[in-house]
A and B are shown apart, each in its own frame.
Chain A
Amino acid sequence: MYALLLAFRYLRTRMIPLVAIGAVGLCVALVVVVVSVMSGFLYQVEQAGKTLIGDVVVTNGLRGLPDPEGFIAELKQNEAIAAATPVVETFATIRMPYDEVRGVQVWGVDPKSFDEVTGFAQTLHWTPEGSGTDWSEADFRRDLSPELLMGLEEEGRALARTEPDGTVRPGICLGLEISIGNKRNDEGTYDPVNRWFMPVQEPVVLTTIPPDTLNTTPEPVSIAFAPVNEFSCGLILIDKERVFVPLAEARRMTNMTVAEEVDEEGLPTGKVFPARSSKILVRGNGLPEAQVREIVDVAYREWAEREGHVINPMIFRVQTWRENQASFLQPVENERELMRTLFSLVYLVCAGLVLAIFHAIVTEKTRDIGVLRALGATRPGIAMIFVQYGVVIGILGAILGVLLGWAVVHNISLINQAIGDPPMAAVFVLGAVGVVGLWRFASGFHSGFLAPRVLGAGLILVGFGLGAAIWYIKANGLSRVIWDPAVYYFAEPPNRMDWWTALTTAIGAVVFSVVGAVFPAARAADVDPVEALRHD
């Protein structure tokens, strides 16, 4: 009982333990923030990856898969399969309305079944609900009429535009980051370019060279598309690379259309090759992905054998979305674990700090320890004072650290911005700190005390130094955004708190605080009461 009482009293009457709590808190916050951001990043990547792929992906190298519609029709008989869709993937150059030509990844899809598998329609940007969120106050695009947006949504869902005269033209849906009309500024919002936006522009043209054109000089294929909508899946990497077009057009661009076999004279032999697709995406009916993969794998092999399609085991793949994205996900996951391990070294810092501080306190409290021993305190009892003291410091530090970490993670966007472009207010605040430093320094000079002068000098250095540095950076435009969307794939840094990590780190901090306390505690227990009481 006295152990706890003394532990709390030592806490209240001393400055050093507060420093220890602060240090432990900072260590915990550091781990929590780093791992949370990494986990959040991983989560975002996974979610984005899943949005566009479904549960299971069937691929067969560049050759693609024959007659995907035939297989899908059969696969959908299976109870466990909710939806499946063929995708033709290729690369093409796109000619933008503002006379820019750039490369894009083209996905030819059947919009309806593709939406069933991937939720594609949810990523459409120009819809009555979807648009306007990121536009700045003054942007005209906030005020687009609902009728217009409804029309665009419909066209986006169909990947087709019906002209007033009734003709239907193939539509294209671009990743939101492709058009210069949607370039994010440093604040993460968009600035309008003149008064246009992508979907109502004149047609854009995709040009590609189809593979597999044997015996002929490759002829580029160009197709004009009406820009019907834009999408954003949250993964910048995809948003600035990919366009969706109707499946039929993509097949034309890749020679994956139905083909008739011809003999040497160019006469049809009567044999027909079915249309192909680069991949088939499948969504299960809520079963685990691995199970869905097995079902699809078995179904495909049966179907291919029956239909006489040869499977090349070297290139034929049935993968879960996670496996498909592994090259992308794995490094992030590894990096997170590396960070977790490296930053766990801060536990040693915790333990070391507590050890040093407790060592000092035990030395200072030797006499009191002697008194307690004279009063009949046992050695374990004396040790408990300091062990419990360590527990208290660990717990308070851990709580502080988790709160601090939570605050940082929660406001990481703001902090990212503030660091990238420090507000002028920071300069003023730092200037004020410098002035306070001057005042302390002057008062120390008057009274002759040294401490206020040292403190003052420190404040002057920090206040004016840092303030001047920030001012210089701002004045010369040297600031940079740390979380650059282009580098990190996402517009916003992840702000999901990793509570599991927070919990384990907090427990670790408490454990290591106690570890740090144990040695000084043992030393305290072994204090010789006679020696201690002779210090008069």
Chain B
Amino acid sequence: MTEPNMNANASTTVLQATGLHRTYRMGRVEVPVLRGVDLQVQEGEWLCVLGSSGSGKSTLLHQLGDLDRPDRGHIVWRGQSLTDMRRRERETYRNRAIGFVFQSYHLMPELNVLENVMVASMVGHDPFAWRSMRDEASARAEELLDAFGLGHRFEHRPAELSGGERQRVAMARALVNGPDVVLADEPTGNLDTKTGDDILDVLAERHRLGLSMVMVTHDPTIAARADRVVKMVDGVVVEHNAST
């Protein structure tokens, strides 16, 4: 869909959340997790979300990625409210506009590396449309995997890869449809510092090329590399500055 654009006007808002509320109910007990989150993601911005465990960071990412719906509040993507979208449009939104990267990779064990990446573009097309764009998709997947240093491991199963390599495959999958925003939930959480830094380098390179990112992390040193850092506290997002 929309290619990351290097010349984009930095003030364009890609994603905007206003007054997000989300409460989980466990039997009679109500657990308010999001209590009016306001958040803006600018075009080409690398935004980090800090917060203690259980503060609702993942919940927020799921809202932004349309895996879950807010009880109240709005998410607007390039002027379009998710609440107003029809089901098909939301699915297209998830497929094209958003790229998810998870802490534990979530690759499909039955598919090889290349298929794990291509599955993201297969999902967005019916079999007939897929036939006509298959070569293009596989070229794009191979290009990404090459760039991530996995050029000769297309045929391998996820089980045969190291954690860092798996996360690179997951990133290639998130990027293969050329998303607007990558939502990364502790992408280095399962990796040692060295491997984690390599992964961040890859993402930083993408960011330099104009990709917008929302990254959840515990780690202040990672947050230090971001353009902007916010913090989840008591169900709301507050600006964070490193000194405090």
Contacts and interface: CB of A to CB of B under 8 A. Distances in A.
Contact of A374 (B87, B100, B111, B126): B100
A1 B110 contact: no
Given A376-B124, A529-B67, A371 B94 contact: no
B108 interface: yes
> Which of B109, B110, B111, B126 has the most C-beta atoms of chain A within 10 angstroms of its own C-beta?
B110
Given A5-B111, A9-B110, A368-B108, A375 B67 contact: no
Contacts of B115: 5
Interface string A1-24: 110111001101100000000000
B111 A371 contact: no
Given A373-B67, A376-B95, A376-B96, A1 B104 contact: no
Contact of A1 (B94, B102, B111, B125): B125
Contacts of B111: 5-6, 9
Contacts of A376: 91-96, 120, 123-124
A480 B204 CA distance: 81
Given A374-B65, A376-B94, A529-B67, A13 B119 contact: no
A2 B110 contact: no
A372 B120 CA distance: 8
Interface in B135-158: none
A338 interface: no
A147 interface: no
A374 B96 CA distance: 11
Given A9-B111, A374-B100, A536-B104, A2 B122 contact: yes
B110 A375 contact: no
Contacts of A4: 127
Contacts of B96: 376
Interface string B56-71: 0000001001011000
A201 B131 CA distance: 81
A377 B91 contact: yes
Contacts of B65: 374
B123 A2 contact: yes
B106 interface: yes
Contacts of A367: 106
Contacts of B125: 1
Given A9-B111, A375-B119, A1 B91 contact: no
Nearest to B62: A530
Contacts of B103: 536
Interface string A25-39: 000000000000000
Interface string A511-536: 00000000000000000011001001
A6 B111 CA distance: 8
A274 interface: no
Given A371-B108, A373-B67, A376-B91, A533 B123 contact: no
Contacts of A370: 106
Contacts of B93: 376
A381 interface: yes
A375 B179 CA distance: 11
Nearest to B59: A530
A378 B100 CA distance: 17
B130 interface: yes
Interface in A364-408: 367-368, 370-378, 381
Interface in B54-92: 62, 65, 67-68, 87-88, 91-92
A360 to B, nearest CB: 16
B67 A533 contact: yes
B71 to A, nearest CB: 14
Contacts of B127: 1, 4
A520 to B, nearest CB: 17
A322 B125 CA distance: 60
Nearest to B120: A375
Which 4 A-B residue pairings sit nearest by Cβ, starting from the closest? A376-B95, A9-B110, A376-B94, A2-B122
Given A375-B120, A376-B92, 12 more contacts: A1-B125, A1-B126, A6-B108, A371-B106, A371-B108, A372-B119, A375-B95, A375-B123, A376-B95, A376-B124, A378-B88, A530-B68
14 contacts: A2-B119, A2-B122, A4-B127, A9-B111, A12-B110, A375-B119, A375-B120, A376-B95, A376-B96, A376-B120, A376-B124, A378-B88, A536-B103, A536-B104
